[in-house]
């Protein structure tokens, strides 16, 4: 909080010194510009002020610090050391040297916290829309699909399905009307990666969708955003309008013969709408409920037309792959899960925030090197990965590389990238109850196993937490978990029991203590 006031105050002070320049219109003029950027990711330390070109990062800035920032740093070139990150007697001047940033590889988040998200010019100045013009004028749709296949970009929404394969399946469909849908319905508690991308670099998402549109011969795109993300909606709207003004959306884009436009749909915040078929139903104005597959979305998706459905982070990777090449992308992270992944780290960790690391980075590096370890010197106990559909990982997994396949092997999943870190004082049964309560509330009620089963599981967990459970309850939980995951219709139901299953697996003794102790 307070960032806007700080922005206004710094601006006012620069103006008083008659040094203020408009970064959009007076690029050449000497002076000092000030801009609002997207999220820098270092949430724990906000409000943040970054000074360029020195790359100083000022942390926890207060209104009373503004005079010093303007007079010392901006006018007299002297850093305000007390506002910089310090640890073990060292002061970190440049943002990139701060341990929180040092181990990160910020590709998708590169523009977040650096450019003014409402400026078309700044996006273009950073190489934006070059990838679009490359595909429009130098590549055939099939070649674009092949580039994405060669890059082995896997969907960042959780499933990890190869994006290029999906695109080429849609390209092959014989239909005049096809759609591109961007899933921005991030619903996991503790996850805000997609939100930050939409707020901090909206043109990156739009460019990715445009490229997907060209590659699959699609005609229109829809971005489905949670209504709880009003700033993301505003920034996307501004970006879409600017792109239209510059001839990058609409009829005959840049006289290439390709026409494509993008609409925004606001979701009402139902978790189940993150599921593909529920999401398309919701865009069509129907109730957001999953449906039975097949047909698959690539054949009959939105309004029964072939549809590419990817999430925000997946689309944001696309312009980078086209610009830098598939081999470049494959060079980051492990062969089977190349590229980077954005994670939101929250919970009992020192540096909560939004990070981006190469796939395959270990949990230890994420929690201890970047996250700065556990708060108040406590011991690490577990981390919940993948939100309510994911599972928990424990100390024995600290060396585990975070990528799609390694996580699958231990029964967890990346999901969209939420990481909730828990310390030694956390009650794992309560964690399971929390997630089951969430899922049970979000169950759309269409099928019985999920609707009734999650209710029963929640009742049992509540009973155990209240000290009224029995050992049989643990078996009952396992049985219900089995039934729900094998019979539920959609991903929400299939994975609803995962937090219970994994906490039972790794912390069974804690459950037993609850049922035995309290009697």
Residue 282 Cβ vs ligand SF4, minimum distance, rounded to whole Å: 13
| Range in contact with ligand SF4 (rule: CB under 6 A) among 33-41, 331-339, 388-396, 442-450 | 442-450
Residue 391 binds ligand SF4, judged by CB under 6 A:
no
Q: What is the rounded CA–CA span in Å between residue 366 and residue 102?
A: 11
Please answer whether residues 213 and 221 qualify as being in contact, where contact means their C-beta atoms are separated by less than 8 angstroms. yes
Give, rounded to a whole angstrom, the gap between the first and last alpha carbons of the chain.
46
Q: What is the rounded CA–CA span in Å between residue 247 and residue 253?
A: 6
- Binding to ligand SF4, residues 469-488 (CB under 6 A): 488
- Return the number of the residue (231 or 448) whose C-beta is nearest ligand SF4: 448
Residue 493 Cβ vs ligand SF4, minimum distance, rounded to whole Å: 2
Residue 187 binds ligand SF4, judged by CB under 6 A:
no
Write out the DSSP string of 343-378: EEEEESBSS-EEEEEETT-BHHIIIIIIS-SBGGGP
Residue 436 binds ligand SF4, judged by CB under 6 A:
no
- Return the number of the residue (384 or 389) whose C-beta is nearest ligand SF4: 389
Which residue of 416, 443, 485, 502 would you call a contact of ligand SF4, by CB under 6 A? 443
Residue 461 binds ligand SF4, judged by CB under 6 A:
no
Residue 414 Cβ vs ligand SF4, minimum distance, rounded to whole Å: 20
- Return the number of the residue (154 or 446) whose C-beta is nearest ligand SF4: 446
User: Which residues, listed in sequence order, are joined to residue 394 by a DSSP beta bridge?
Assistant: 382
Residue 380 Cβ vs ligand SF4, minimum distance, rounded to whole Å: 33
- Return the number of the residue (370 or 490) whose C-beta is nearest ligand SF4: 490
Which residue of 48, 447, 460, 500 would you call a contact of ligand SF4, by CB under 6 A? 447
Q: What is the rounded CA–CA span in Å between residue 489 and residue 276?
A: 12
- Binding to ligand SF4, residues 279-318 (CB under 6 A): 290
Select from 495, 464, 500 the least CA-distant residue to 392. 500
Q: How long a stretch of residues is the chain?
A: 519
Instruction: Give every CB contact of residue 382 below 8 A, 6+ residues apart in sequence.
Output: 392, 393, 394, 395, 422, 426, 428, 431, 506, 507
Which residue of 50, 237, 323, 451 would you call a contact of ligand SF4, by CB under 6 A? 451
Residue tagged 């100390």 (tokens): 395
Please answer whether residues 210 and 250 qualify as being in contact, where contact means their C-beta atoms are separated by less than 8 angstroms. no
Residue 135 binds ligand SF4, judged by CB under 6 A:
no
- Return the number of the residue (382 or 444) whose C-beta is nearest ligand SF4: 444
Residue burial 446-462, b: 16+ Cβ < 10 Å; e: rest: bbebbbebbeebbebbe
Which residue of 492, 497, 501, 515 would you call a contact of ligand SF4, by CB under 6 A? 492
Residue 489 binds ligand SF4, judged by CB under 6 A:
yes
Give residues in contact with ligand SF4 (CB under 6 A). 272, 290, 443-447, 450-451, 488-490, 492-493
């Amino acid at each position: 909080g307070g960032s806007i006031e700080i922005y206004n105050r710094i601006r006012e002070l620069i103006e008083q010194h008659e040094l203020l320049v408009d970064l959009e219109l007076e690029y050449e003029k000497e002076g000092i510009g000030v801009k609002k950027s997207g999220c820098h990711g270092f949430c724990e330390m906000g409000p943040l002020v970054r000074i360029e070109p020195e790359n100083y990062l000022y942390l926890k800035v207060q209104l009373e610090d503004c005079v010093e920032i303007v007079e010392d740093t901006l006018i007299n070139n002297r850093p305000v050391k007390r506002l910089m990150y310090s640890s073990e007697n060292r002061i970190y001047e440049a943002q990139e040297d701060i341990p929180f940033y040092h181990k990160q590889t910020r590709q998708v988040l590169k523009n977040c916290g650096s450019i003014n998200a409402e400026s078309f010019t700044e996006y273009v100045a950073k190489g934006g829309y070059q990838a679009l013009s490359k595909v429009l004028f130098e590549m055939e749709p099939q070649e674009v699909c092949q580039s994405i296949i060669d890059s082995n970009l896997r969907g960042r929404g959780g499933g990890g399905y190869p994006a290029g394969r999906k695109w080429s399946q849609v390209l092959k469909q014989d239909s005049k009307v096809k759609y591109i849908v961007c899933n921005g319905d991030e619903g996991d508690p503790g996850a805000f990666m997609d939100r930050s991308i939409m707020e901090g670099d909206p043109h990156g998402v739009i460019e990715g969708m445009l490229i997907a549109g060209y590659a699959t011969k699609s005609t229109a795109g829809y971005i489905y955003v949670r209504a709880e993300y009003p700033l993301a909606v505003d920034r996307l709207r501004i970006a879409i309008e600017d792109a239209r003004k510059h001839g990058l959306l609409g009829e005959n884009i840049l006289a290439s013969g390709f026409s494509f436009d993008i609409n925004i749909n606001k979701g009402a915040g139902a978790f189940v709408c993150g599921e593909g078929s529920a999401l398309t139903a919701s865009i069509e104005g129907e109730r957001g409920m999953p449906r039975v597959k097949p047909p698959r979305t690539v054949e009959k998706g939105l309004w029964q037309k072939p549809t590419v459905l990817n999430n925000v982070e997946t689309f944001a990777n696309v312009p980078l792959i086209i610009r830098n090449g598939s081999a470049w992308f494959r060079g980051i992270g492990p062969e089977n899960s190349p590229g980077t992944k954005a994670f939101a780290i929250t919970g009992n960790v020192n540096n909560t925030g939004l990070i981006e690391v190469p796939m395959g980075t270990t949990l230890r590096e994420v929690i201890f090197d970047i996250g700065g370890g556990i708060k108040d010197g406590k011991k690490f106990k577990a981390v919940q990965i993948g939100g309510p559909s994911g599972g928990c990982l424990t100390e024995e997994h600290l060396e585990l590389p975070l990528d799609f396949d390694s996580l699958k092997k231990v029964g967890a999943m990346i999901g969209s990238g939420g990481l909730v870190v828990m310390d030694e004082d956390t009650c794992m049964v309560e964690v399971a109850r929390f997630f089951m309560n969430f899922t049970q509330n979000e169950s759309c009620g269409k099928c019985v196993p999920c609707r009734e089963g999650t209710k029963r599981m929640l009742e049992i967990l509540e009973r155990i937490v209240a000290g009224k459970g029995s050992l049989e309850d643990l078996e009952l939980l396992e049985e219900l978990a089995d039934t729900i995951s094998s019979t539920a219709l959609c991903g929400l139901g299939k994975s609803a029991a995962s937090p219970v299953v994994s906490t039972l697996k790794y912390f069974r003794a804690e459950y037993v203590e609850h049922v035995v102790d309290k009697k």
